[in-house]
Structure formats: C-alpha cells, structure tokens
Amino acid sequence: MKETRKIIYFDNASTSFPKAPGVPEAVADFLRDIGANPGRSGHSQSIAAARILFAARESLCRLFGIEDSRRLILTSGATEAINLVLRGLLPQGFRVLTTPLEHNAVMRPLRYLLRAKKGEIVLLPLDERGRPDLATLRREVGKGLNLIVVNHACNVTGQIVPLREISKLKGGVPLLVDVAQTAGCYPVEVESDGIDLLAFTGHKSLLGPPGTGGLYIAEGIQIEPLIRGGTGSNSESEEQPDFFPDRFESGTRNSAGMAGLLAATEFIMKEGVESIMNKEKRLGARLRAALSAIEGVTVYGDGAAERLANICSITLKGVDPTEVSRILDREYRIMTRPGLQCAPAAHKYIGTFPAGTIRFSLGYFNTLEEVDLAVEAVEEIVRRFHRANG
Ligand SMILES: Cc1ncc(COP(=O)(O)O)c(C=O)c1O
C-alpha cells in the first residue's frame, strides 16, 4: 500500500519548510506577471521589478533596524555575504578573531585566506555556558585586529553568542555577525546589538526562498566588491560604480526570490519575531526535555546557556547518527539532519567530531503533536538497538 503518512519536517536549520504563506504565490506572480530585469531598461515592467527589490530591501531594513536601506546588499545567501566581507576587507597579514562555533561558510574562506594572505585566526575561548572569555577579547582587540566574526547562534547546538558583550569591548574593530540561524526567529537589531556587518540568509527562519539573503555594511567600513560587472547604472563607464548598493550588486539579482523574501519578511513582522521565538521555545523545550529523559540519548549544549530553542542535536549511544536519521525518515517520515551539518569546528567543540549528531530543527509551523511523535520514534529506535545489542 502506498505510504500516506504526513511528513514531519524537522530540518528547518538547513532550510525552512513550508515557507511563509504567500511566498510561493509571490515568486510565481513575479515570474508570471512581471518577469523583467530591475534597474535595466526603464520600461514599466522593469520599473515594477525594481519596485519589488526596493520593497524587499526596505522591509528587511525594518526587520533589522537598519536606517539607510542603500547599505543593505542583496545576495544569494549568507555564504556570499560572508565571502564578500572576508575577501573584500581582510588585508595581507590580517588578524581575525572568531569563535569555536563557526560554520564552514566562515571557516572555509578564512582557511583559504590564511594561506593566500598569510593571516592569523585567533579563536575566542568560550566557557561551558558559552560566554566569551572577555579577557582574551580585550587583550586581542588591544593587539590589533582587522575583524571580529561571530556566529550568532550555532547551527549545531543553537547556542547564542552574546553580541552586546562583544560589541561593548570591540573598540574600532568591525564586527561581522552571521545571523543565518537567528534572522526571523530571534531579535536582531544592528544598532542595539552593535553590529557593523550583518550576513543573513532568506531561506531559513526568514521563511523565504533559497538563493536569497543579504549583507548590511555600516558606514565607514571599506570593502572591495566580490564581483564586478553590469549594474544597470553608470553604463557609460567601464569602472565599477562606487555608490551603494550598486557597488556590490553586479549582475541580475534573484528578483523572483526577492519577491518571495519580501512576502516572507512581511509575514514575520506581522506575526512578530518575539511571538515566533516564543512558540519555538515551547516546542523546543518539550522536545529537549523529553529526549533528555530517554536513557541512552545525549542532548548537546549546556541546558543553562541561552540558545535558540529550535535546534536540538542528539546522539544515541552506540548508534551511527546517519543510521538514526535514515530510520526516522524511512520508517517515521521524520526529516532530520545527521552528521556534521557543515560545522566541523562546532562538533570538535562539543566532542562529537567526526560522526556528528542527529539534529532536530523545528520551525514556526511545527506542532506539539509532531514533537511528541518524534520523541516516541526515538524511544522506539533506542529500544530496538538496545534489544539488538543486549
Ligand atoms: C550558521 C550558518 N552560517 C551560514 C550558513 C550558509 O547560509 P546560506 O545557505 O544562505 O549560504 C548556514 C546554513 O547552513 C548556517 O547555518
């Protein structure tokens, strides 16, 4: 008989599903009714497309408390935004301070630049509750740093890095914050959080389409563009425009995706980030507590540390995480992500390298019933392996 059980999607930290109401329609409407290239041709369809990009930019700025929307660069996601900063800002012989919780979106370009520009990466130690060692931060700021890079919430444990403590001590060093996991489900405010460079993605908790995201660049920070090319502006010149956002937006934007991201951002602001966070807190607390109570299950991350409620990484004693995720998918239709989740540094930090964990990541549209079904499924899998081994 054909499998009819509904899927339970707990892989929202990879990408959210379903998207916010209105997102698929906004993408389809753009492709069907507008279609033109924004800022290029001056005809009414092109102007309509430019209006969508403008509205998306303005909407994202309202969400993140950014005043000048020209300083918000639309990108294909957090990875492009982070590369733009790291490659465009770090000089030869740079010194960067970062944390042990970074995603490969940060670590891979940094490792490459380490060789190419003979730089240095300084790791900021965190205590067992995830608080940064402020003495190290103060010392390193005093020794000269080109950039501080932090992952706002670790995509393996959900652990939050306290931005305000870091930004208070950073002096004149620019602070790049990767809010890939927090944007849309945890308050992020560039002014009050002291963020100079904000890299975000549209396809996770912002509930928008893949291939969308952006970068905010505060005034006074000098960055070279990652790519150069046509912008629709200053076409008489073969030199890259020097004004924002065109300086950093060469080539055609993902306008259809941005139409979807506009719908998603409006939805998030209508619901309220706080109320999204609170709902995810209720779901996450129940999942964490129930999984922690199962013998043979380890839930990662100090329970007392502040964390994103929607991420819960576990291991089952003696069982490969990939096998557990496979069983959850094939037998229970529960989607999780096993392994290292593109963050080997974070797994080394919590002691789960190289096998990794099984990550449950909840979203705004999950329910308590789904959480309870997942807990029952894990209990059954534990019992099964326990019987088989003993
Ligand atoms: C912490 C973190 N940073 C960066 C990224 C990359 O985001 P994007 O897919 O938008 O490039 C991810 C996504 O997996 C992430 O979890």
- pLDDT digit string, tens, across residues 219-271: 999 999 999 999 989 999 999 999 999 999 999 999 999 999 999 999 999 99
Amino acid found at 103: H
Q: Which atom of ligand 1 is nearest to the CA of 105?
A: 4
Which of 74, 161, 181 best tests ligand 1's pocket when mutated (most atoms within 8 Å of CB)? Answer: 181
- Check pocket membership of 105 for ligand 1, CB cut-off 6 A: yes
215 close to ligand 1 (CB < 6 Angstrom): no
Residues 289-312 pLDDT 10s: 999 999 999 999 876 678 888 999
Closest residue to atom 14 of ligand 1, CA basis: 14
Q: Is 355 exposed, middle or buried (0-12, 13-18, 19+ CB in 10 A)?
A: middle
Taking only the tens place, the pLDDT of each residue in 146-191 is: 999 999 999 999 999 999 999 999 999 999 999 999 999 999 999 8
User: Are the C-beta atoms of 321 and 356 separated by less than 8 Å?
Assistant: yes
How far is ligand 1, taken at its centre, from the CA of residue 181, in Å?
7
Establish whether residue 254 lines the binding site of ligand 1, counting it when its CB lies within 6 angstroms of any ligand atom: no
Instruction: Using DSSP, state whether 59 is helix, strand or coil.
Output: helix
pLDDT digit string, tens, across residues 10-57:
999 999 999 999 999 999 999 999 999 998 888 999 999 999 999 999
Q: Taking residues 269-280, report their average pLDDT.
A: 97
Please tell me if the CB atom of residue 103 comes closer than 6 angstroms to any atom of ligand 1: yes
Please work out whether the CB of residue 181 comes within 6 Å of at least one atom of ligand 1. Answer: yes
Q: How far apart are CA 162 and CA 185, in angstroms?
A: 16
Sequence-distant (6+) residues with CB within 8 A of 259 are 26, 27, 29, 30, 34, 52, 56
Which residue carries 């929307």 as its tokens? 69
* DSSP letter string, 145-179: -SEEEEESB-TTT-BBP-HHHHHHH-TTS-EEEE-
Tell how far the Cα of 81 is from the centroid of ligand 1, in angstroms: 10
* Helix, strand, or coil (residue 372): helix
The domain ranges of the chain are: 8-19+273-389, 23-271
Contact partners, residue 75, CB within 8 Å, separation at least 6: 81, 84, 213, 214, 215
- ∠19-21-25 over CA atoms, to 5°? 90
- Is 80 exceeded by the pLDDT of residue 3? no
Backbone angles phi, psi at 40, to 5 degrees: -110, -55
Amino acid identity at 31:
L
Write down the CATH number for the domain with range 8-19+273-389.
3.90.1150.10
Atom of ligand 1 nearest to the CA of 102: 1
The CATH number that domain 23-271 falls under is 3.40.640.10
Q: pLDDT of 352-364, one tens digit each?
A: 999 999 999 999 9
* Residue with tokens 């990408």, as numbered in its chain: 15
